[in-house]
Amino acid sequence: MSAKPISLQPFAPRVFSGVQPTGNLHLGNYLGAIKRFAELQHRHDCVYCIVDLHAITQAPEVWGGPEGLMRATREVAAAYIAAGIDTKKHIVFNQSQVAEHAELAWVFNCVARMGWANRMTQFKEKAGKDRENASVGLFAYPMLMAADILVYRATHVPVGEDQKQHLELTRDIAQKFNNDFGDRIRALGLASGEYFPLAEPLIAGPAPRVMSLRDGTKKMSKSDPSDYSRLNLTDDADAIVQKIRKAKTDPEPLPSEPEGLKGRPEAENLVTIYAALEGSDPAAVLRQFGGGQFSAFKSALADRAVASLAPIGAEMRRLTADPAAIDAVLAEGAARARAIAGPVMAEVREIIGFIRS
Ligand code: TYM
């Protein structure tokens, strides 16, 4: 261990977030997460992970088996880069290359209580009716997520709204660890205050919850069987135009004020998407399109979506054509990630009392 414990330094702001390599990266992942990752890099130190250990919590058919996992891992890396994340300045890597994530997750499995994990709605949704058949890993998913964040002692976590509950659990785990081992942490002189920060969720941005194009009450999701429910980042211009043309709407014209979107989930979703892509807000969009029919709005939305997404898709295709170059970025990112996670995990071992010769 280094002479000066790293934990004695005050928490420097550090951003951490992750995306699962399970295929079908979509507009929700982009607006809720990846686009914001790129924005935050100008103000903070960022660590962006491709969470392949999380991907395997579901059946291999879901993540595409070994070949599918490798393809999807490189595709998420390509999406990060295509969205503008600077991999020289910030850390981009895949989770399984840094063993400390899994090691700290085990510790957190022992810190978190069954009752806490039992309350996780995402487990209930993903496990569905056949809970007996869900993997143990799916149940332990949130503890691994807490480890991802805390092994870097990250302070800020940009995510979509669906991750809010997992981040609350992360804070509970950090707090319980700090309390359970408080005396030891102080006796070792490892931290003057809290060992792990209570990481803050950054669930902001104009579209923290992008909804399905087929049903405005359902979240846009990788696992929706209908490809028409989402705009994939790899969709070409024709596919984007088709999907927006077919998107569900209602028979009324667009309202002139955002209040008029209440009770009209599909209209609200399309207006929100337009505003998020444009970098404006729903009121401004409705000043322009309010009172008009959906057909005109949809064609403007399609143009807007093609202008934003098609270049990202094209860049992703260009990058994934050279897998070795992406793997090199991931290897370099993993080495830099290990340099942070290794010393933190060494301190955690000492705090708990694991002998290491
Ligand atoms: P994943 O891959 O399911 O989602 C990646 C990110 O996309 C956001 N997102 C959405 N945002 C808005 N509208 C939507 N329809 C939509 N769908 C998905 C998610 O909120 C997420 O930010 N558990 C995480 C991965 C993870 C992680 C972490 C995140 C693992 N460890 C540590 C932060 C910190 C997840 O759901 O990935």
- Secondary structure (DSSP) of 49-76: EE-HHHHTTS-HHHHTHHHHHHHHHHHH
The answer, yes or no, to whether residue 304 has pLDDT greater than 60, is yes
The answer, yes or no, to whether residue 2 has pLDDT greater than 50, is no
Task: State the DSSP code for 258.
Answer: G
Q: Is 220 in the pocket of ligand 1 (CB under 6 A)?
A: yes
DSSP secondary structure of 296-350? HHHHHHHHHHHHHHHHHHHHHHHHHT-HHHHHHHHHHHHHHHHHHHHHHHHHHHH
Helix then strand then coil, in percent of the chain rounded to 5, is 60, 5, 35
Model confidence at 233, in pLDDT bands (50, 70, 90)?
very high
The catalytically annotated residue of 35, 126, 243, 298 is 126
- Nearest-atom number in ligand 1 for the CA of 149 is 32
Q: Is 32 in the pocket of ligand 1 (CB under 6 A)?
A: yes
Q: Is 163 in the pocket of ligand 1 (CB under 6 A)?
A: yes
Task: State the DSSP code for 25.
Answer: -
The catalytically annotated residue of 35, 89, 124, 219 is 219
Query: Which domains does the chain possess?
Result: 15-208+321-352 (3.40.50.620), 227-318 (1.10.240.10)
Q: pLDDT, tens digit, for every residue of 121-164? A: 999 999 999 999 999 999 999 999 999 999 999 999 999 999 99
Query: Is 126 marked active-site?
Result: yes
Query: Is 219 marked active-site?
Result: yes
The tokens for 334 are 């993993």
Beta-carbon contacts of 17 under 8 Å, excluding residues fewer than 6 positions away, are 33, 37, 48, 49, 157, 158, 159
Rounded to the nearest whole angstrom, what is the distance from the C-alpha of residue 163 to the centroid of ligand 1? 6
Sign of the dihedral through C-alpha 115, 116, 122, 123: negative
Mean pLDDT of 82-111: 98
Which residue has a Cα nearest atom 34 of ligand 1? 17
Q: Is 170 in the pocket of ligand 1 (CB under 6 A)?
A: no
Task: State the DSSP code for 248.
Answer: -
Which residue has a Cα nearest atom 27 of ligand 1? 18
Q: Are 278 and 304 in contact (CB under 8 A)?
A: yes
The answer, yes or no, to whether residue 1 has pLDDT greater than 90, is no
Q: Which residue has the higher pLDDT, 6 or 347?
A: 347
Q: How far is residue 280's CA from residue 312's CA, in Å, rounded to a whole number?
A: 20
Query: Is 248 marked active-site?
Result: no
